[in-house]
Structure 1
Amino acid sequence: MTLPTPLTGVVPPVCTPLTPDREVDVPSLLRLVDHLMAGGVHGLFVLGSTSEAAYLTDGQRERVVRAVVGHVGGQLPVLAGAIDMTTPRVLDHVGRVTAAGADAVVATAPFYTRTHPAEIARHYRMLAAASPVPVLAYDIPPAVHTKLAPELVLELAADGVLAGLKDSSGDLGGFRRVVTAARTHPGLTGFTALTGSELVVDAALALGADGAVPGLANVDPHGYVHLYRLCRAGDRERARAEQERLCALFGLVGVGDPARMGGSSSALGAFKAALHLRGVITCPATAEPQIPLSADEVERVGKFLAAGGLL
């Protein structure tokens, strides 16, 4: 389907369920998609950070996109990450995910190599020139060690290179500059500005964001869709209460012991444990070499779900 301009609403970064031997569990993936669609989400983002895209082989990435696009059947836009270290590798992913049916691609700045803003701009211009679908920038400095400057994003947007931004930088002030310019500059009509934060969706929408890409929406899509609707209706008190409930639920990402695992193992393990406990996916395995949650940590995930009214 054609990507709406702008794309609005809740667009979860879809987890990638895996089998015990770490292959893509397509039946669980499709149940997860059904779970998200039943929650009323407005689009799907596959092959992002929450999708464990960095851990998947090229074949697994392509399998995910084809399965989701085929299952959705044009009912919702499907955005696909084309995330890799350098422009030639990202261009290869762009070709694969668009051939598999993605409605838009989402790409970070190059990483591993040290880049200059001019090189980042050239990177996105080359992606846009090669892509048959819109390109959105993904600003995630903790992962790629580069912050996309608002001025660069706006320049590329004005030139028709970028159709939108998924902001996971934590820089709400910088995001606000992009959002404000996108709403006032006549050359930026239709630009999509999405927050990647679970914790400040209400604030981002209040300052003019089009929507949100919260990983926690895998676990509670109804909650984030409800929050989005309350914000759009101007019901600040109920929106704040729902955001605070979701902030409390987000505490589940910290169940993993930092003495034996990284933050991604804890957060992604908790999302998958929650989906397993809710009966959505068959196996809560995360990709290697991430450390699995212990039985006690999974039990704590269940307590967060119960407190949030999800069990």
Structure 2
Amino acid sequence: MTLPAPLTGVVPPVCTPLTPDGEVDPPSLRRLVDHLVGAGVSALFVLGSSSEAAFLRDRQRRQVVETVTAHVGGGLPVLAGAIDMTTPRVLDHIAAVTEAGADAVVVTAPFYTRTHPAETARHFRLAAAASPVPVIAYDIPSAVHTALDPDLVLELAAEGVLAGLKDSSGDLAGFRRVVTGARGRADLTGFTALTGSELLVDCALALGADGAVPGLANVDPHGYVRLDRLSRAGDLAGARAEQERLAALFGLVGVGDPVRMGGGSSALGAFKAALHLRGVIDCPATADPQIPLAPREVERVAGFLTAAGLL
């Protein structure tokens, strides 16, 4: 289907349910999609950070896109990450995910190798030239170690290279520059600005963001849809109260013992444990080499869900 311009609302970065032996679990993935669509989300983003895209084999990436696009049947847009270290690999992913039915691709700056801003710009131009669907930039310097300059994003948007930005930079001031810059130009009225923050969705929407891509929306999509609707209705007090409830729930990402696991293992393990506890997915396994949560840590996840009224 055609991607709305701009795309608005809640766009969950869909977790990838796995079997105990590390293969994609299509039945659980379809139930997760139903869980999200039933909450009223606007689109789905597969093969992002919360999808564990970096841990999946190429055949598994394609399986995820094919499963989700076939299940939604064009009922709402599916964005797919085409994320890899260098431009040639990204072009391969763009071909694969668009053949599998993706309605837009999400692309980071190159990583591993150090890139000059001119090389980053060329990377996006080459991606857009090769893509039959819109390209959305993914600004996530914590993972790729390159921050996208707001002026470069706006320049590429004006050229027609970028249809939007998913901002996971943590730099709200920089995101504001993109939003206000796009809103101030008649030639960028269709540009989509999405925040990747779980904790500042109300603030981002207030400054003009089109929507949000919060990983926690896997666990509580209804909450983020409520937050989005309250914000758009001008109910700032209601939006703030819902954001505070979600911020408290987000504490579940810290259940993992930092002595034995990293923050990614803790956060993704907690998302999947929550989905398992809620009966959405069959198995809470995360991809290797991430460390599984211990039973006592899963109990803490259950405590967060209970406090949020989800269990």
**What is the deviation of 1:87?**
0.0
Question: Map of 1:146-185 to 2, 5 A cutoff?
Answer: 146-185=146-185
CA distance in 2, matches of 1:161, 1:42: 23
1:133 corresponds to: 133
**What is the deviation of 1:208?**
0.1
2:249 corresponds to: 249
Question: Map of 1:73-112 to 2, 5 A cutoff?
Answer: 73-112=73-112
For the residue of structure 1 that corresponds to 2:40, the secondary structure is: coil
1:124 corresponds to: 124
Supply the AA of the counterpart residue of 1:195.
T
Question: Map of 1:15-54 to 2, 5 A cutoff?
Answer: 15-54=15-54
1:227 corresponds to: 227
**What is the deviation of 1:186?**
1.4
2:263 corresponds to: 263
CA distance in 2, matches of 1:64, 1:32: 12
For the residue of structure 2 that corresponds to 1:194, the secondary structure is: strand
CA distance in 1, matches of 2:39, 2:295: 28
Supply the AA of the counterpart residue of 2:105.
V
Using the aligned pairs only, state the percent identity: 80
For the residue of structure 2 that corresponds to 1:281, the secondary structure is: coil
CA distance in 1, matches of 2:245, 2:236: 14
**What is the deviation of 1:189?**
1.6
Supply the AA of the counterpart residue of 2:263.
G
Supply the AA of the counterpart residue of 1:50.
S
Q: Is 1:298 aligned to 2:298, yes or no?
A: yes
Deviations 1:49-89 (A, max 9, x none): 00000000000000000000000011110000000000000
1:197 corresponds to: 197
Supply the AA of the counterpart residue of 1:164.
G
**What is the deviation of 1:107?**
0.5
**What is the deviation of 1:243?**
0.1
CA distance in 2, matches of 1:293, 1:39: 27
For the residue of structure 2 that corresponds to 1:190, the secondary structure is: coil
For the residue of structure 1 that corresponds to 2:105, the secondary structure is: strand
Instruction: Give 5+ residue unaligned stretches, structure 2.
Output: none
Decide which moves more: 91-100 or 177-186: 177-186
Count of matched residue pairs: 311
CA distance in 1, matches of 2:131, 2:189: 20
CA distance in 2, matches of 1:117, 1:152: 8
1:69 corresponds to: 69
CA distance in 1, matches of 2:113, 2:187: 32
For the residue of structure 1 that corresponds to 2:165, the secondary structure is: strand
CA distance in 1, matches of 2:27, 2:58: 19
**What is the deviation of 1:187?**
1.7
Supply the AA of the counterpart residue of 2:162.
L
CA distance in 1, matches of 2:156, 2:253: 34
**What is the deviation of 1:132?**
0.1
For the residue of structure 2 that corresponds to 1:300, the secondary structure is: helix
For the residue of structure 2 that corresponds to 1:136, the secondary structure is: strand
Supply the AA of the counterpart residue of 1:178.
V
CA distance in 1, matches of 2:244, 2:302: 19
CA distance in 2, matches of 1:239, 1:193: 19
CA distance in 1, matches of 2:189, 2:86: 30
1:114 corresponds to: 114
Q: Is 1:8 aligned to 2:8, yes or no?
A: yes
**What is the deviation of 1:24?**
0.0
Deviations 1:103-155 (A, max 9, x none): 00000000000000000000000000000000000000000000000010000
CA distance in 2, matches of 1:180, 1:309: 37
CA distance in 1, matches of 2:297, 2:171: 31
For the residue of structure 2 that corresponds to 1:238, the secondary structure is: helix
**What is the deviation of 1:184?**
1.0
CA distance in 2, matches of 1:232, 1:73: 28
Q: CA RMSD in A?
A: 0.3
CA distance in 2, matches of 1:32, 1:118: 40
Instruction: Give 5+ residue unaligned stretches, structure 1.
Output: none
For the residue of structure 2 that corresponds to 1:269, the secondary structure is: helix
CA distance in 2, matches of 1:284, 1:262: 17
1:239 corresponds to: 239
CA distance in 2, matches of 1:142, 1:258: 18
CA distance in 1, matches of 2:162, 2:238: 34
